[in-house]
């Protein structure tokens, strides 16, 4: 069994081919590893929510999955923006990848994110860490109206109340400091109590 940290962009077995691929925006694992030490990578993240008829957040969805060393962790919908792809297209693609094709997300009209998260390999520069890379993530709160079916490497989407999702125990289970991020994103939509 492989224990390499998977790039969250790609489900197992669907990684893009090495450079011979016609699309120069696809990066091989080796190329991506090389670039990750040279440039900040641009990510989008989504906090999936359920809203009531007045638009108020009633539930927040977190992905539960096993990481490379078999620990259970929670995370958000997340992934890289590809060359030539708009932020909006990337957000939609990763929502579909992580929540399945029947989630029916309502993407925000505004491209301005609810929060900006900066992940660094070393802790202390910001609240957010990603040992693989320096990544800057545009974070959106996205209502989903359909049924979520997480992809293979996520075990489930767990729905919680806004009050529960910001408790310290859930915060500790969110990888890379995303407990802070969920709080900031909920604050931006007036759902942080």
Q: Is 59 in the site for a copy of itself (CB under 8 A)?
A: no
Q: Which is nearer to a copy of itself, 28 or 67 (CB)?
A: 28
Residue 29 binds a copy of itself, judged by CB under 8 A: no
Contact 166, 61 (CB under 8 A): no
39 contributes a contact to a copy of itself by CB under 8 A? yes
Q: Taking every pair of C-alpha atoms in the chain, what is the biggest distance, in angstroms?
A: 52
Contact characters 117-156, a copy of itself, x per CB under 8 A: -x-x----xxx------x-x-x--x-x-------------
Pairing, β 77-80 against β 72-75: unpaired
Q: Which stretch binds a copy of itself (CB under 8 A): 1-9, 65-73, 102-110, 149-157?
A: 102-110
One of 8, 9, 16, 41 touching a copy of itself (CB under 8 A): 41
In the numeric block, which tokens belong to residue 51? 């809203």
Binding site for a copy of itself (CB under 8 A): 24-25, 27, 31, 35, 37-42, 49, 51, 53-57, 81-89, 92, 106-116, 118, 120, 125-127, 134, 136, 138, 141, 143, 180, 183-184, 187-193
């Amino acid at each position: 069994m492989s224990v390499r940290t998977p790039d969250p962009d790609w489900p197992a077995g669907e990684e893009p081919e090495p450079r011979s691929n016609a699309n120069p925006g696809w990066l091989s694992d080796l190329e991506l590893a090389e670039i990750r030490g040279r440039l900040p990578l641009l990510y989008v993240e989504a906090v999936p929510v359920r809203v009531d008829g007045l638009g108020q957040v009633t539930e927040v969805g977190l992905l539960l999955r096993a990481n490379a060393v078999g620990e259970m962790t929670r995370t958000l919908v997340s992934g890289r923006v590809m060359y030539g792809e708009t932020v909006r297209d990337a957000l939609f693609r990763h929502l579909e990848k992580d929540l399945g094709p029947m989630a029916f997300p309502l993407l925000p009209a505004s491209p301005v994110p609810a929060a900006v998260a900066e992940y660094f390999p070393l802790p202390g520069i910001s609240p957010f860490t990603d040992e693989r890379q320096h990544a800057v993530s545009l974070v959106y709160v996205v209502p989903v109206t359909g049924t979520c079916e997480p992809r293979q490497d996520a075990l489930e989407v767990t729905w919680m109340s806004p009050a529960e999702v910001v408790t310290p125990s859930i915060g500790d289970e969110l990888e890379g400091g995303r407990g802070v991020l969920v709080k900031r994103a909920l604050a931006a939509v007036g759902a942080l109590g």
